[in-house]
Structure 1
């Protein structure tokens, strides 16, 4: 409940990932994207300027003005246990 109130106030952001995984993060000025491990649920934040520029190009090519975006890449992290248990 408190986190939801913080979310409504713009203090934290909720990210909903596959497998009913949700996380709250402190709202940041700089945008970032996420890598999510399919096995253990580990989440890695990353920023890649080339990806950001390409997304803008795609939007512009389609006459679309972006108000925001979310990029989540799913896969298997480098933890050996996750590699061994990958489906």
Structure 2
């Protein structure tokens, strides 16, 4: 079964299934896997994979000054979720 949103996603970023399906089980074992507010005991059913980044591959990142990395990381809302 494929949901309409999963079928419409051109990057296949949306996955739907039971916890024992191979696709979902494999994603949950990925070190980038996280669930929002899990530490508060909310037991969320939706989980996420942190974004993969390959710094230096985009033109604006290649020209970045050496001292800017700490500032950019501090302003990045996903920085604390990366594993």
Which structure has more strand as a fraction of its residues? 1
- Bigger RCO (CA 8 Å, 6+ sep): 1
Which structure has more helix as a fraction of its residues? 2
TM-score (normalised: structure 2): 0.31
TM-score (normalised: structure 1): 0.30
Larger radius of gyration: 2
